[in-house]
A and B are shown apart, each in its own frame.
Chain A
Amino acid sequence: MTELANKLDDVSQRFAAAVDRANDEQALESVRVAYLGRNGEVTAVRRAIGALPPSERPEAGRVINDAVAAMEQRVAAAYEALESRQFDSELAASIDVTFPSIGKPAGSIHPVRRIIEESCAYFARHGFAVVVGPEAEPDYYNFDALNIPGDHPAREGFDSFWISDTLLLRPHTSPMQIRTMQQHRPPIAIVAPGKCFRRDAVDARHLFQFHQVEGLLVAEGIHFGHLKGMLTGLCRELFGAAQSVRFRPSYFPFTEPSAEVDTTCPKCKGTGALGSQTCNMCGGSAWIELGGSGMVHPNVLREVGYDPDRYSGWAFGFGVERLGLARYEVDDIRRFVKSDPDFLAQLS
């Protein structure tokens, strides 16, 4: 018994020294196998139990088991210490996190589409559908059906590109009002974004190719207050919650009453001034013009077979690039067509 105990002591001590010497997982594992494995030294000691008198055997078994438990604990602790050292060395590494990133090519949506999508998403949340239509449209959809007959002076305001006697590039998105109302019965709730063309001389504020977002709501009981409600919400969606919206009387052949819509200049926050300078976005007026709107003219409703005594509705049309100028504080509207990479990158 004493002999066995001494032997066990010796094995334990050598084991402890070997564990302490092992400085990687592989060495540690081979130490474990050499002592605690199936053919390890402890097994050899355990075999010696058979030579003891039967009365001493239980005690000897207990002593060996205790020693093995202690050895296993020691090797587990060594494993843990080893892992911890590895983490320490991994965690000791340090990099410059401000070093330029490794990027994939960046994609982006054009700011015009972004404004269109955000506007349309706002209307969609309120139950409006988004419809699109052709850019080359007959004069019927562009003018006649919108209460602008052939000799109407308002046609001069739509200086258009003509393709034939009757076909032109749409100067506004309003043809979609007619197309939609002809295909459906009220309620009509649509927004119609798209490209439009007018023969305007191009400068920092004008393009001959631009985009509009058109809106139309026709049902029983629709009134001007609903127009104010939706467009006020749109301006706040695009420019922020502090935005004010102003409706001024105006004239359009396809609406009556009609209104121009202004919103507080987002650049000078409706003060008209930037420090001591006049605001260069609104020219000091504190307002920016968004576009036209109004209650759908009864003649337009009649044209599509709606009874104006029963149904009423409103429509509006905003210039998207104009919105973009104010929203992104762009100095020149031509940048939206030029779309140079820096412009796109900045506004993406």
Chain B
Amino acid sequence: MRVPISWLREFVALPPDAQAIADRLAMLGFPVAEIERRPTITGVVTARIAALEKHPNADRLQVAQVDVGADAPLTIATAATNVAAGQTIAVATIGAQLPALTIAPRTMRGVASQGMMISAEELALPGEWFEDGIMQLEPDCDLGLDVVDLFGLDTAVLDVEITTNRPDAMSIVGLARELAASYGSALRLPDFVNPGRAADPPGEEPKVLIESDDCYRFVSQRIDDVRVAPAPAWMRVRLALSGQRPINNLVDVSNYVMLETGQPLHFYDARAIHGGRLIVRRARDGESIVTLDGVTRTLSPQALVIADDERPLCLAGLMGGAASEVAPETTAIVLEAANFNGVRVRRMSNALALRTEASSRHEKSLPPALTDLGAARAAALLHALGATVYQPHAYGGPVTRPPAIALKVADVARLLGLPLAAQTIEHHLVALGCEVERVEPETWAVTPPAWRCDLAIAADLIEEVARVEGYERIPVVVPSVAAHEISSAAFTLESRISQALKGLGYREIITQSLRGAGSVEVRNPLSEEQRFLRDSLAPGIIEYLAENASPIRVFEIGEVFDSGGNGVVERSLLTFGFSADPLEEPPWRDSDFLALKGDCEQLLRGITGRDAEMKRATHPGFHPGKTALATLDEREVAHLGRVDPRTAKASDLRRPAYLCVVDIASLPVYETPRYRVPSRYPSTYRDVALVVDIGVSARDIERAIGAAVGSLCTGATVFDEYRGPQIGEGRKSLAARVTLQRFDATITDEEADAAVALLLGALQKEFGAEIRT
């Protein structure tokens, strides 16, 4: 909300510095997004055109004698066309400083001109919002007054953010009240007594019939003898500074009162109300209304309208209808100051995709008390403009204060950690308009003011006390936390995994969770490419690998989503891997795969304290011949392998890519390893070479060797593989090293040879292995 400081100053004394006021507002809970500072303008005064003549030497110029309240009039030549004798205007005198120029005496076609008549634009106001040419002031205006002082043109405008719980503060009066309480100074409000005393003209005042619970209160007031014209300059300037375009005196009064008091108003042309009744009711299905913006809107019963006997005239809390719009020939109006259920207004606003200054206030559920205030203020302003103001009529519920709140005084210190004297607490609450009744010394009954519907519980009051006292007064205390048993295990596991992968040379990335494919759909996606929740981290990582020209190693830990029997199944996955330059290798060997497998084994060992078993597997999206499954204690924990080159190509990834996918929930908890004392006696080894079918895996051979030799065998590792024509179709040559050792004595050559003979026999028997020497 744009708030001219000069308007605030009308109600409360404030320090001179705009920044100080902005800081104070921020510390009251109303942050200032921007301070718009005004340019320096001096030497512009109110003046009256005493006489106006044609310029003797120029057709397009006129020469005026201008009374600036001084002894002698000033002679001013002007090219403006909207000037006439008798007008009150603003004049820049010699030496005056305007944003773009400084006024000096000059001669215009032989006439010495002693100043310049001023347009709104020259006062740094939006020129298109004001009359073409010279700005017109009120005829009864005193002369020689400083225009900048008169209109508050030199004070900054604050862009204040107001939280949704404080619709009462979406107004100049509301913010002034907050500042007055904070500074401990007096709040000087305008006279909010409704001047409408006269009895209504018989038969003219429409009765209001409230048929909906969503209209809590409705103040209506008949006002006659209005004459549609531009509003007074001071009002137009204030509206313009507040970002509201001046329209005419009626529209401007309603906007002015809304900005000042927070209560949106609506004026109906009295002639347009047929049947003498205003009815607040649900719209009929299919009923339509042309709103003030010229749009024909078809309504549903969800909409709340104010109608006469024939048709809807206004969308409640949103916008009026064209049919009852104030027109140049309007002479009598009916004022509406109503209170609606905010939820209802917000739903209507959403359904009709229509947001207005009025709806942005109504949708936050305004205090009903504002209705009378708004009506009174508008009636007073219109009365001052010469209108006949009849007495207001209020319909619906009464204006009451919110119910009293029991406040335990000790709770203030308990929640804030700031001990305050009872007197101070009471003072702060009273400053905000609360009534404090000390029912007991320790428990008070605090009744909020009628405009503070947000105050409902003791904690609300404690916040009020803290705001007025100042949050900065609350001490800074480090708490000591008592022991508890809440587990950090899941987070710690993720941290350990990420540290392990960092150590293995992978960089962590975070990719989008919302993607173009998946099995769980989002109802309201931002785009088609983000319609689904990912069911795998692989596509995001593959895209990332594709975007980078050189080989790269990355990992991601994140949630994936599948649609399960009862809805959505969410899992935490780790996926890591790399893109690589192709290697010159035979098709039965892939060193990049082995490197990935090595990283996987190291990771699993580090995280679980155990060694994983690897076996050949297939998995969608992975190369059918280069994929493995990792198990720990028979439990599947990961799959890994080369990304299917077709899948990679679909993401424009041309180089080979390798990924390992770990289901984090499947990982067993870390098992503390136990130390095995090594043998004191030396070991020996034997290398064996054999030819087996290509279906026999290295791991099969290692396992069979261990089983055949028994406890003498302390290690069996296949270290070479070869395939080729000399080995034979369907066969491969493997070399393995067997490590042999005794725990009770040095192993002899005879024992070692016997063990080898044993294992070779077993390999021949189990795999048909052909032994080569």
Contact = CB atoms under 8 A, between A and B. Distances in A.
B391 to A, nearest CB: 35
B249 interface: no
Given A161-B522, A224-B416, A225-B417, A249 B508 contact: no
Contact of A195 (B28, B463, B475, B513): B513
A94 interface: no
Contact of B509 (A128, A225, A247, A344): A344
Interface in B272-315: none
Given A110-B509, A224-B416, A224-B466, A219 B31 contact: no
Interface in B537-552: 544, 547-548, 552
Contact of A251 (B165, B466, B471, B521): B165
A105 B577 CA distance: 13
A274 interface: no
Contacts of B491: 120, 130-132, 193
Interface string A64-104: 00000000000000000000000000000000000000001
Interface stretch (A48-56, A325-333, A335-343): A335-343
Contact of B474 (A156, A228, A312, A340): A228
Contacts of B460: 256
Interface stretch (B377-385, B499-507, B761-769): B499-507
Contacts of A124: 488
B575 to A, nearest CB: 14
A298 B414 CA distance: 13
A331 to B, nearest CB: 18
B284 to A, nearest CB: 24
Nearest to A221: B414
A230 B417 CA distance: 14
A201 B212 CA distance: 37
Contacts of B553: 105, 107
B459 A297 contact: yes
A154 interface: yes
Contacts of A126: 478-479, 481
Q: Residue among A110, A184, A187, A344 with the most chain B CB within 10 A? A: A110
A329 B514 CA distance: 27
A157 B346 CA distance: 13
B164 A154 contact: yes
A162 B522 contact: yes
Majority-rule SS of A interface residues: mixed
Given A136-B568, A251-B165, A209 B514 contact: yes
A239 B556 CA distance: 26
A139 interface: no
A336 B512 CA distance: 11
Q: Residue among B31, B343, B462 with the most chain A CB within 10 A? A: B31
A202 B505 CA distance: 31
Q: Residue among A117, A249, A260 with the most chain B CB within 10 A? A: A249
Contact of A109 (B482, B502, B513, B559): B502
Given A193-B491, A228-B475, A248 B26 contact: yes
Interface stretch (A6-14, A30-38, A163-171): A163-171
Contacts of A219: 481-482
Nearest to A219: B482
B650 interface: no
Q: Residue among B480, B506, B508, B521 with the most chain A CB within 10 A? A: B508
Contact of A344 (B342, B479, B507, B568): B507
Interface stretch (B103-111, B523-531, B581-589, B743-751): B523-531
Contacts of B27: 248-249
A197 interface: yes
Interface residues of B, number: 85
Contact of A169 (B28, B414, B522, B544): B522
Contacts of B72: none
Interface in A292-348: 295, 297-298, 312, 336-337, 339-341, 344-345, 348
Contact of A229 (B342, B479, B501): B479
A256 B478 contact: no
Given A136-B561, A161-B525, A257-B415, A248 B31 contact: yes
A249 B567 contact: no
B166 interface: yes
Contacts of A256: 457, 459-460, 462-463
B163 A251 contact: yes
Interface in A118-136: 120, 124, 126-132, 134-136
A209 B558 CA distance: 12
A226 interface: yes
A126 B481 CA distance: 7
Contact of A224 (B31, B417, B526, B567): B417
A339 B544 contact: yes
B364 to A, nearest CB: 6
A105 B599 CA distance: 13
B356 interface: no
B471 A161 contact: no
Contact of B526 (A199, A222, A337): A199
B474 A226 contact: no
A112 interface: yes
Interface string B152-165: 00000000000111
Nearest to A295: B415
Interface in A240-283: 246-251, 256-260
A201 B346 CA distance: 22
A140 interface: no
B570 A135 contact: yes
B658 to A, nearest CB: 13
B520 A108 contact: no
A217 interface: yes
B526 A208 contact: yes
B672 interface: no
Contact of A226 (B417, B498, B509, B521): B417
B353 interface: no
B229 interface: no
A230 B481 CA distance: 11
Interface in B140-170: 163-166
A226 B460 CA distance: 19
Nearest to A129: B486
Contact of B512 (A157, A161, A163, A209): A209
A224 B415 contact: yes
B88 to A, nearest CB: 41
A208 B524 CA distance: 13
6 closest Cβ pairs, A-B complex: A225-B417, A249-B29, A257-B463, A223-B417, A127-B481, A105-B505
18 contacts: A127-B482, A130-B488, A134-B570, A136-B533, A136-B570, A161-B514, A163-B520, A187-B484, A193-B491, A195-B558, A217-B481, A223-B415, A224-B415, A228-B475, A249-B27, A251-B29, A295-B459, A337-B512
